[in-house]
Amino acid sequence: MKTLIAATVASALLLASSATLAGSPPAEPEVVPILTDLGMLGMAMALAGFALRFITRRAGKS
């Protein structure tokens, strides 16, 4: 569970940093889409992890 929370926080930080870089003129313009993609991928993976954990707990109670 701690790993999932850490992944979610790291993904949120990636998205926040990409939004910050998007607001200011970055030295490398291609960095912002990469950070955004990594943040979105991390959020999707964390969401899938939470869903899988929820499903496996429900299956164990039946």
Question: For all residues of the chain together, what is the average pLDDT?
Answer: 78
CA distance 54 to 58: 6
**Domain boundaries of the chain, sorted by first residue:** 2-61
pLDDT digits (tens, 9 = 90+) for 39-57: 888 888 888 888 888 888 8
Separation of first and last alpha carbons in the chain:
21
pLDDT score, position 62: 61
Q: pTM higher than 0.85, yes or no?
A: no
- For residues 31-58, one letter each, b for 16 or more C-beta atoms within 10 angstroms of the residue's C-beta and e for the rest, the string is ebeebbebbeebbeebeebeeeeeeeee
